[in-house]
Structure 1
Amino acid sequence: MRRTLDNPPTVAAPFGDRFAHVARVDLPGGALLMLAGQVAVDDDGHLVGPGDVVAQSERIFEIVEGVLAGHGAGLADVLHVRTFMTDLGDLPGYAGVRRRLFTAVPPPASTTVEVSRLFLPGALVEVEVAAAVTGRSAA
């Protein structure tokens, strides 16, 4: 078993490289990818879509797709989505984005919780995912 912490070049480095975007565990026949929580920031770390949960959700999944792509994976490889929201009243907007992106039946396993705040002022949602890729060599 090989473990790798990585910030792939397919996305901007997270806030001065203070954490890894992805933890990868290579196993016989594939790999498990555990992504760090992502918030809606541009490549310079500025909040995208202030006050707009749909815009923030779309940006978050753009980042998630970029991180996954850096390891030969895509949204179809996602096993679990964990979501933190500052207001569950925003759930319909977020859920609409999720439904558009995850079309498989059934969709990935999911956990969604409301939190009092996120680390980035103005962030309405933060998303973590776990994905599995099969038959691909280590990145």
Structure 2
Amino acid sequence: MQITLDNPASAPQPLSPYYSQVARVEHPDGSALLFLSGQIAEGATVAEQSRGIFETIATLLAAHGATLADVINIRTCLTDIGALHEYGAVRQEFITGTPPTSMTFEVPKLFRPEAQIEVEVVAAVSPRPAA
């Protein structure tokens, strides 16, 4: 098993030097699990921030040959659980088909004071086709 930590140039860079955006845990058969750090985004509303978050997640996944369809787990922190429906509506735009496992909870505040939501995902990537 090989573990690679990555900050793809195609995606926004981490807000701090203390973490990597993606941990790729690769199996010898070429399949992999991608663990993405929690993502926040700019915006005045939870919907705006959610949209930016899922766009960033899609970019991070694409850098590792995955899509949002490969997401198997989502963990979401909201500073106001009352905004769950607003977040859920945006999430359904990006995560279609059978929903992944999920955990959502309310927190008093996040890393950045303006952040109302943070989303972390795990994705499973199929083996690469033989060349």
- TM-score in same-fold range (> 0.5): yes
- In structure 1, the residue matched to 2:99 is 107
Answer yes or no: is the 8 Å Cα contact 1:79–1:131 preserved in 2.
yes
Q: Provide the identity percentage.
A: 49
- In structure 2, the residue matched to 1:36 is 37
Q: Which runs of 5+ in 1 are unaligned?
A: 41-47
- Quick one: which amino acid aligns to residue 107 of structure 1? P
- In structure 2, the residue matched to 1:130 is 122
Q: Following TM superposition, by how much is the alpha carbon of 1:16 offset from its aligned partner in structure 2, in angstroms?
A: 4.7
d(CA) in 1 for partners of 2:14 and 2:53? 13
Query: For the aligned residues, what is the CA RMSD?
Result: 1.2
Matches within 5 A, 1:46-85: 48-50=42-44, 52-85=45-78
**TM-score between the two structures when normalised by the length of structure 2:** 0.93
Give the match's secondary structure for 1:82: strand
Q: Following TM superposition, by how much is the alpha carbon of 1:126 offset from its aligned partner in structure 2, in angstroms?
A: 0.1
Q: Which runs of 5+ in 2 are unaligned?
A: none
**TM-score between the two structures when normalised by the length of structure 1:** 0.88
d(CA) in 1 for partners of 2:16 and 2:38? 15
Find runs of 4+ consecutive structure 1 residues off by over 3 angstroms: none
- In structure 2, the residue matched to 1:87 is 80
d(CA) in 2 for partners of 1:84 and 1:67? 19
- Quick one: which amino acid aligns to residue 76 of structure 1? A
- Quick one: which amino acid aligns to residue 106 of structure 2? E
- Quick one: which amino acid aligns to residue 14 of structure 1? P
